[in-house]
Amino acid sequence: MSDNACTTPGLVCAHHHLYSALARGMPAPQRVPSDFEDILELIWWRLDRALDLEMIRWSAKLGALEALESGTTAIIDHHSSPNCIDGSLEVIAQACREVGVRVLCAYEVSDRNGLDGAAAGLAENERYLSSGGRGYVGAHACFTLSEATLEAVAGLAEDLGVGVHIHVAEGLCDQGAGERLANLSRQEWLLAHCVHLDQELAGTIVHNPRSNMNNAVGYASPARFSGRVALGSDGIGADMLEEFRIAYARAREEDVTTTPELVWSWLEAGWELVPEALDDIVRWSYEPMDPWHLAFTPGVRPVEITVDGSLVLKGGQAVLVDSNEIRSKAAEQARRLFARL
**Rule CB under 5 A: which residues touch Zn ion?**
234
Q: By C-alpha distance, which of 95, 101, 81, 35 is closest to 313?
A: 101
Q: In terms of Cα–Cα distance, which of 16, 39, 20, 37 is closest to 28?
A: 39
Q: How far is the CB of 333 from Zn ion (least distance, A)?
A: 21
Cα radius of gyration (the chain): 19
Q: Which is nearer to Zn ion, 234 or 268 (CB)?
A: 234
Q: Which residue, 69 or 234, has its beta carbon nearer to Zn ion?
A: 234
DSSP state letters, 232-260 = --TTS---HHHHHHHHHHHHHHH-TT--H
In angstroms, what is the minimal distance from the CB of 86 to Zn ion? 22
Specify the residue, 44 or 286, whose C-beta has the smaller distance to Zn ion.
Answer: 44
DSSP helix/strand/coil, 140? strand
Give Cα 305 to chain centroid, integer Å.
21
CA distance 47 to 32: 16
Which residues are CB-neighbours of 121 under 8 A, at least 6 positions away?
Answer: 85, 107, 108, 109, 110, 138
Max CA pair span of the chain: 53
CB of 33 to Zn ion, least distance (A): 16
Distance CA(81)–CA(311), nearest Å, equals 32
Nearer to Zn ion by Cβ, of 137 and 313: the residue is 137
When CB distances to Zn ion are compared, the closest residue is: 234
Q: Find the shortest distance in angstroms from Cβ 315 to Zn ion.
A: 33
In contact, 164 and 134? CB cutoff 8 Å: no
Q: Closer to Zn ion by CB, 166 or 313: give it.
A: 166
CB of 328: closest distance to Zn ion in angstroms?
28
DSSP 3-state of 281? strand
Minimum distance from residue 36 beta carbon to Zn ion (Å) = 12
**Smaller CB separation from Zn ion, 48 or 124:** 48
Cβ nearer to Zn ion, comparing 23 with 294:
23
**For residues 76 and 232, is the Cβ–Cβ distance under 8 A?**
yes
Which is nearer to Zn ion, 234 or 239 (by Cβ)?
Answer: 234
Closest CA to 137 of 169, 112, 159, 113: 159
Pairing of strands 281-284, 310-314: unpaired
Task: Tell me how far, at minimum, the Cβ of 108 lies from Zn ion, in Å.
Answer: 9
CB of 15 to Zn ion, least distance (A): 6
